[in-house]
Amino acid sequence: MLAAARTFRPLLLRSPLRTLSSVPAASTTSEPSTNDVPPQGPNSTGRYNWIGPPSSRYKVPTELKNLSHFFPPDNSDPTLTGRSWSASDLRLKSFEDLHKLHFVLLREYNLLWTEQGLKRRKGGFFVNPGRKQNVKKSVAAIKQVLGERKREIERLKEMESVEEIE
């Protein structure tokens, strides 16, 4: 069985490569043919002008091009921290403000995880672990406020549907 497996070679019925004789000759006239490929690239006006490197299609703010905002600044004082956001503070904020604050807190949480990992690899200790707890409490408070708003909207919709029935 092994000898048969070694000698087996698949047969190709047709060569996968095109030869020069199979390519049609270029036309000698100056008129463009309908089969020509439209120009491509950043300066083209063809239908494929969206093809290109992502950097030419998307404009990213310069502050987001590097990962420096995920690392603490070198001159930061680790002892100065604030308190977590309470639900009563967040109830006064709009949905857009809560959305922005949520992403700021996620970035801060990633920064703290990065800082903790760097300290652990260097053999040191994380200076202020209470900061991570404050961020977690703030995110939980945002979720609580958004849940309260969602339940209130559902309750109002239910009351409207009951009034329409009566």
CA distance 162 to 166: 6
Looking at residue 74, what is its pLDDT?
65
Looking at residue 124, what is its pLDDT?
80
CA distance 129 to 160: 48
CA distance 79 to 72: 13
Q: How far is CA 135 from CA 20, 60, 96, 102, 125, in A?
A: 67, 27, 19, 10, 19
Show the low-confidence residues of the chain (pLDDT under 70): 1-80
Map out the domains of the chain as residue ranges. Answer: 62-71+84-166
**Residue 52 Ramachandran class (φ > 0 left, ψ -120 to 50 alpha, else beta):** left
pTM over 0.75, yes/no: no
Looking at residue 18, what is its pLDDT?
47
Q: What is the CA radius of gyration of the chain?
A: 32
Structure confidence by residue, pLDDT tens digits, 79-97: 567 889 999 999 999 999 9
**Angle of the 95-122 helix axis to the 130-165 helix axis, nearest 10:** 150
CA distance 163 to 148: 23
